Homo-oligomer: A and B are copies of this chain.
Amino acid sequence: MFHQISEKYKAIQASICTSLEACDRTGIFSDDPWERSIGKGMTRVMQRGEKIAKAAVNYSSVQGLYNDELSKVGGSKGTFYQATGISSIVHPVNPYSPIIHFNIRYFQLSSGECWFGGGIDLTPHYVDEREAIWFHSRLKSICDAYHPSFYHDFKTEADNYFYSPHRDETRGVGGIFFDMLKPSNDLTFNDLLEFTLDLGKNYAPIYNSIITKNHTKPYGNRELMWQNIRRGRYVEFNLIHDRGTKFGLLSGGNCESILVSLPPMASWEYNFQVEKFSEEENTLNMLKKGIDWVNLPRYE
């Protein structure tokens, strides 16, 4: 069973890479298989593409004992675990294109417990409300096909998860996030597996639509500078708060694969202030929890 899921996830990795390569037109993914005591994986990375500055699509299949440190990030001590998953990130060239992140994972413990986790979330350097509404609507329609409460629940979890308390800002406009998703009366194990696969199939097409609309927008030094400031906030979130990064580094994962989510470039300026009534200020105002994107007026 574990092996079958792992193989299905691997196929998702291949389809995401093919789709992102077709979108970028010049960038190519490298293949970097790895094996260590913890398990094996395949890190696929595109750098310096035409539209994509850096993209990663990682597959891994790992196992080990839950120790003190790992139990802090989920699960109980003393049990043997197996985990397989795909995680992906895209840092675009154009500051008007957003960063996107996707993850699906399956966990299985020796106690018999098992669950799925994952999500998709969008981090625009410049928030475009219509784009955020469209993005959330797409996620909602995938979720709705499985369970009427999925979108609402997982959107709320994303708001809470992708949040930096030290800045009091969300990482971006959110999306969906779920963890410890287990079979229930409503949904079989297979339904949940299909749900994660469905997210995997939709991730690249959703992002391709977004990047295609933005990649020709003109920009200059101001926008590049702001992009690097926002990328710096992304680094802060990933290194200070993200449980996936912590789990990976603590469990003895491949550090280059784990940290491939970091942007090609980032900057920190002390006490950077945005101009009043600027696009940058508008973006900061949108980095809040609880915005009901799918029910916002669409100005159309």
A266 touches B265 (CB 8 A): yes
Most buried by B among A232, A236, A269: A269
In the complex, A228 has a CB within 8 A of chain B: yes
With a cutoff of 8 Å between Cβ atoms, the chain B residues found around residue A232 in the complex are 262
In the complex, A56 has a CB within 8 A of chain B: yes
**Cα distance A240–B166 in the bound complex, in angstroms:** 15
Most buried by B among A167, A239, A266, A270: A270
With a cutoff of 8 Å between Cβ atoms, the chain B residues found around residue A258 in the complex are 166
Min CB distance, A41 to chain B, in Å? Answer: 14
**Cα distance A268–B54 in the bound complex, in angstroms:** 10
B271 touches A256 (CB 8 A): yes
Residue of B nearest to A235 (CB): B235
In the complex, A65 has a CB within 8 A of chain B: no
**Cα distance A264–B225 in the bound complex, in angstroms:** 11
**Cα distance A160–B256 in the bound complex, in angstroms:** 22
Summarize A's interface: helix, strand, loop or mixed: mixed
Interface string of A244-266 (1 = CB under 8 A from B): 00000100000110111011111
- Beyond A45-B271, A47-B269, A166-B258, list 13 extra A-B contacts (CB 8 Å): A166-B249, A167-B255, A228-B265, A232-B262, A235-B239, A236-B259, A239-B239, A239-B240, A264-B268, A264-B269, A265-B267, A266-B267, A266-B268
With a cutoff of 8 Å between Cβ atoms, the chain B residues found around residue A269 in the complex are 47, 264
In the complex, A32 has a CB within 8 A of chain B: yes
**Cα distance A267–B265 in the bound complex, in angstroms:** 4
B271 touches A32 (CB 8 A): yes
Between A and B, 17 residue pairs with Cβ closer than 8 Å are: A43-B270, A47-B269, A56-B270, A166-B255, A166-B259, A167-B255, A228-B265, A235-B235, A235-B266, A236-B239, A239-B239, A256-B270, A256-B271, A260-B270, A264-B267, A265-B265, A266-B268
**Cα distance A266–B258 in the bound complex, in angstroms:** 18
With a cutoff of 8 Å between Cβ atoms, the chain B residues found around residue A45 in the complex are 270-271
Min CB distance, A234 to chain B, in Å? Answer: 11
Interface string of A13-40 (1 = CB under 8 A from B): 0000000000000000000100000000
Min CB distance, A163 to chain B, in Å? Answer: 14
